[in-house]
Amino acid sequence: MTLERNPTMNDTASASASAESDARADADAARRALPAALEQVNRVLLGKEREVRLAFATVLAGGHLLVEDLPGMGKTTLAHALAATLGLGFSRIQFTSDLLPSDIVGLSIFERERGAFTFHPGPIFAEVVMADEINRATPKTQSALLEAMAERQVTVDGETHRLPDPFIVIATQNPVDLAGTFPLPDSQLDRFLARLALGYPDPASERAMLAEPDRRLLIDRLTPRLDRTGLRALRAATAAQLTGAALIDYVQRLLAASRSTSGIAVGLSPRAGLALLAAARALSLIDGRDHVLPEDVQAVFVAVAAHRLVPAADEPRSREALAETLLARVAVDA
């Protein structure tokens, strides 16, 4: 009996093996480039290594970032530096009280020559979108971001338009200037994987800033250390990081404690738990490991969980303080 070769099956298997090999090569190259990417952003945003790591973890986990701090602390610098280092297109939207949803997502305009409506995309159609001072816009305009952040798409006049891949929103807001602002509702806050505050620089970093050229000039000189292919490979590698049963038990205990701790009116949802695991996986990859440790969960917990906690009406502690209380209360081992 003569065995005949099935070219379709063999060719398919060969193509699949080749694709897997290419994916591994992309992931390996991106892993090697990742330290240089972090180092480049740290050269621009001096003395903020922890915050830069958390920002990268948010991006690798596929999430959006909210940076809440005083003016002049480097929020815009961080967004620009991340986009330039990742080699991604950048768009900045200045949120104001008169900003309309169509100013963000775009609108359909009737063209006489064609006798039809044509969609003109708004500034949200970029790979990295900076939503500057997001809490100065009205709730209706803020909600225009909700579908985009959750579904990676926008709907205009009943027609759905896909957003770029990757799509990252970096929003900023001022925590103290409440005049003319509209606080983000909990449903909008929940769309941000992490919230950071940069804070004042340490004396050595501040002196270096004062002695060196304007940081904006440094941004113009940044070169991409990664690209879209590398970022996608890193995101796939992040999702594949090992999380053992004991670690998942620890995360679940943190979620349960948030729902039973005095002073917390609304605890963490299952989606918050998924975000926590995703950020911890990303941080473990940044640190060069293939598995997640409890220390990774602890390192990202306040950034991922605090803005999702709702304090009781008479609770004097901040959301961040409540998150720290949870970390101290819940043991790593049951």
The DSSP-derived string for 192-226 is: -SEEE---PPPHHHHHHHHHSPPHHHHHHT---SS
DSSP reduced 3-state for 109: strand
Least confident of 2-11, 79-88, 275-284, 322-331: 2-11
**d(Cα 103, Cα 94) in Å, to the nearest integer?**
10
DSSP reduced 3-state for 316: coil
pTM: 0.89
Tokens representing 94?
A: 């200045």
- The answer to whether 67 touches 170, Cβ cutoff 8 Å, is yes
φ, ψ for residue 94, nearest 5 deg: -85, 110
Instruction: Calculate helix-pair angle for 294-305, 245-258, nearest 10 degrees.
Output: 30
Mean pLDDT (whole number) for 21-38 = 87
Residue 152's DSSP bridge partners are: none
> Of 225, 316, 224, whose CA–CA distance to 263 is shortest?
316
**d(Cα 126, Cα 73) in Å, to the nearest integer?**
24
Where are the strands (E) in the chain, listed by range?
A: 65-68, 90-94, 106-111, 116-121, 128-132, 153-156, 159-162, 168-173, 194-196, 264-266, 310-311
Q: Give the gyration radius of the chain's Cα atoms.
A: 22
Judged against a pLDDT cut of 70, whether residue 47 lies above it is answered with yes
More confident residue, 5 or 199: 199
**d(Cα 124, Cα 151) in Å, to the nearest integer?**
13
- What is the pLDDT, as a whole number, of residue 1? 46
Query: What length does the chain have?
Result: 334
**d(Cα 209, Cα 80) in Å, to the nearest integer?**
17
- The answer to whether 63 touches 82, Cβ cutoff 8 Å, is no
- What is the pLDDT, as a whole number, of residue 115? 81
Percent of the chain surpassing pLDDT 90:
67
Judged against a pLDDT cut of 80, whether residue 3 lies above it is answered with no
Mean pLDDT of the chain: 89
Give residue 63's pLDDT band: very low, low, confident or very high (50, 70, 90).
very high
Give residue 9's pLDDT band: very low, low, confident or very high (50, 70, 90).
low
**d(Cα 282, Cα 199) in Å, to the nearest integer?**
23
**d(Cα 192, Cα 308) in Å, to the nearest integer?**
9
Tokens representing 218?
A: 């440094």
**d(Cα 271, Cα 277) in Å, to the nearest integer?**
10
The counts of H helices and E strands in the chain are 13, 11
More confident residue, 238 or 22: 238
Identify the CATH number of the domain defined by range 241-334.
1.10.8.80
> Of 257, 292, 234, whose CA–CA distance to 56 is shortest?
234
Q: pLDDT tens digits, residue range 229-277?
A: 999 999 999 999 999 999 999 999 999 999 999 999 999 999 999 999 9
Q: pLDDT tens digits, residue range 152-188?
A: 999 888 888 999 999 999 999 887 555 567 888 888 8
- The answer to whether 141 touches 134, Cβ cutoff 8 Å, is no
Judged against a pLDDT cut of 70, whether residue 73 lies above it is answered with yes
Mean pLDDT (whole number) for 205-228 = 87
Percent of the chain surpassing pLDDT 70:
92
- What is the pLDDT, as a whole number, of residue 244? 94
List all residues 6 or more positions away from 265 whose beta carbon is below 8 Å from its beta carbon: 310, 311, 312, 313, 315
- What is the pLDDT, as a whole number, of residue 10? 64
